[in-house]
Amino acid sequence: MKNLAHWIGGKPVEGASGRFGPVYDPATGAQEKQVPLASTDEVDAAVASAKAAFEDWGTASLARRTSVLFKYRELLDAHRDELAALITAEHGKVHSDALGEVARGMEIVELACSVPQLLKGELSTQVSTRVDVAAIRQPLGVVAGITPFNFPAMVPMWMFPLAVACGNTFVLKPSEKDPSASLLLAELASEAGLPDGVLNVVQGDKVAVDRLLEHPDVTAVSFVGSTPIAKYIQLKGIEHGKRVQALGGAKNHMLVLPDADLDFAADQAVSAAYGSAGERCMAVSVVVAVGDTGDELVAKIAERARGLRIGPGDDPGSEMGPLITREHRDKVASYVTGAAAQGAEVVVDGTGLTVPGHEDGFFLGVSLLDKVPVTADAYRDEIFGPVLCVVRAATYDEGIALINASRWGNGTAIFTRDGGAARRFQLEVQAGMVGVNVPIPVPVGYHSFGGWKDSLFGDHHVYGNDGIAFYTQGKVVTTRWPDPADSGGVNLGFPSNS
């Protein structure tokens, strides 16, 4: 069995805590690796490495930083298949989906390459006689990222490339369920010329998380994960004086109006609900069928869902892979088995699926639940699996009221041919990311990603302009260089602009 490691000070470091976590191949159910779970001393070592590296990197020129990032982008491109293979082996998603994850993460590396433009300050000259005012942004110091299992390459790349581009040093705590991608990301960064200690990877569990939140030398923490943990991260981080951005869970709705192209809407609903086995915070988990669209739309979704090819992620014929763990697979299945008793109609039941040759894998078929009451667990909870709920609404107003009543506000979408309805929706819906005939409206890298309500804790979204603002602190400098001809003199009056 392969033993994984931490990455501290520019090299792999074996775990010393004596605690390990299992890393499974979700397609077979077999434990292939074990990952060390860091002690507080190991976290402290990573933070100390980052703090020491900041002395030089924090004052490094923008030219030096960007040269490393451009080289890093080249190496990521050359190793994208290798990264995708690691993701498939430990997460289970199909190879094409894993490649897409790497590509979307690389968008943020490309954004980070433009940091000289992003960090341009402001200057006002002659605000008073021979007085100028400049606004500049400077790095924070040591910052940390805590990332989830569902995007083991993309979400870390949402964080550390921008952070280091701004002059910070970084400690990453990836998910212990699929940690290998983060190690390759760090290794490639070192190969690109990132100085030792600028990027560190500490494997671990709650012990590592809590130490990062408490450590006096960590200035800011970024997090993506479930809502309960996001709340915990925010409260504990603020308690210890840290800047926090914490992205939580979601229950994303897709509103389908009677004028929509129902074949197109069905295609998009299936893709958005079941891609990556539904293990993504931007998955469509609820379709709101308005008016008389429900029966026809459900029939079209069911037809497509039943035809999906489910199998191991490294099989080119697979369209959907297994879930991350056996325990998570069983929890997701419980929402389907209990749905009928709570008033839903089970149209497609994926709980009995077995994949020949992979009977011990963590596979679950796709499920479709219709006429789901808003009181049902399948509607109220974030399932994070291949289960799509359909609810019925008589009118647009009823549908949007239902969406806005949700405690989450991550992403949402409307499907319609009516431009007026779409415009009204994008202004009225209470969510941070909105799609018009786009089911998963994840912003491109130069716009920011983040939700509303219980989907975001903190003031900043990730990447884009918000990412730059989060990883820097502003400073305003007022200067005056008196003319040699001035006589000067003492003046005790309040300074005025003249």
Contact present, 140 and 219 (Cβ < 8 Å): yes
Q: What local confidence, expressed as pLDDT, does residue 214 receive?
A: 98
Looking at the predicted structure, is the pLDDT value of residue 236 above 80? yes
Looking at the predicted structure, is the pLDDT value of residue 370 above 60? yes
Looking at the predicted structure, is the pLDDT value of residue 217 above 60? yes
The tokens describing 86, both together, are: 């690691």
Contact present, 452 and 432 (Cβ < 8 Å): yes
Q: Which of 113, 166, 281, 389 is catalytic?
A: 281
Q: Is the dihedral of CA 87, 89, 91, 92 positive or negative?
A: positive
Q: What local confidence, expressed as pLDDT, does residue 486 receive?
A: 67
The tokens describing 290, both together, are: 């308005």
Strand partners of residue 70: none
Contact present, 478 and 497 (Cβ < 8 Å): no
Looking at the predicted structure, is the pLDDT value of residue 487 above 70? no
| Euclidean distance between CA atoms 170 and 190, whole angstroms | 13
Residue for token pair 């229950």: 251
Q: What local confidence, expressed as pLDDT, does residue 491 receive?
A: 74
Looking at the predicted structure, is the pLDDT value of residue 484 above 80? no
Give pLDDT tens digits for 119-163.
Answer: 999 999 999 999 999 999 999 999 999 999 999 999 999 999 999
Instruction: Quickly state the pLDDT bin for 276 (edges 50, 70, 90).
Output: very high
Give 84's contacts (C-beta < 8 A, 6+ positions apart): 95, 98, 99, 101, 102
Rounded average pLDDT over 347-358: 96
Looking at the chain, the whole-number percentage of residues with pLDDT higher than 70 is: 98
Q: What local confidence, expressed as pLDDT, does residue 490 receive?
A: 75
Give pLDDT tens digits for 41-89.
Answer: 999 999 999 999 999 999 999 999 999 999 999 999 999 999 999 999 9
3-class DSSP assignment, residue 146:
strand
Give pLDDT tens digits for 419-456.
Answer: 999 999 999 999 999 999 999 999 999 999 999 999 99
What is each CA distance from 461 to 105, 289, 307, 450, 466, in whole angstroms? 16, 30, 37, 5, 6
Instruction: Quickly state the pLDDT bin for 312 (edges 50, 70, 90).
Output: very high
389 is annotated as an active-site residue = no
The tokens describing 64, both together, are: 């030096």
Cα–Cα–Cα angle for 334, 273, 79, rounded to 5 degrees: 110
| Euclidean distance between CA atoms 360 and 354, whole angstroms | 9
**DSSP label at residue 462:** B
| Euclidean distance between CA atoms 97 and 27, whole angstroms | 15
Looking at the predicted structure, is the pLDDT value of residue 346 above 80? yes
| Euclidean distance between CA atoms 28 and 471, whole angstroms | 40
Residue 391, Cβ density class (10 Å: 0-12 exposed, 13-18 middle, ≥19 buried): buried
> What are φ and ψ of residue 92, in 5° steps?
110, -15
The tokens describing 314, both together, are: 């490294």
Looking at the predicted structure, is the pLDDT value of residue 415 above 70? yes
Looking at the predicted structure, is the pLDDT value of residue 496 above 80? no
Contact present, 250 and 410 (Cβ < 8 Å): yes
Q: What local confidence, expressed as pLDDT, does residue 459 receive?
A: 87
Rounded average pLDDT over 104-118: 97
Residue 55, Cβ density class (10 Å: 0-12 exposed, 13-18 middle, ≥19 buried): exposed
Q: What local confidence, expressed as pLDDT, does residue 136 receive?
A: 97
- Long-range CB contacts (< 8 A, 24+ apart) of 128-133? 128/480, 128/495, 128/496, 128/497, 128/498, 129/498, 130/480, 130/481, 130/482, 130/483, 131/478, 131/479, 131/480, 132/478, 132/479, 132/480, 133/476, 133/477, 133/478, 133/479
Q: What local confidence, expressed as pLDDT, does residue 383 receive?
A: 98
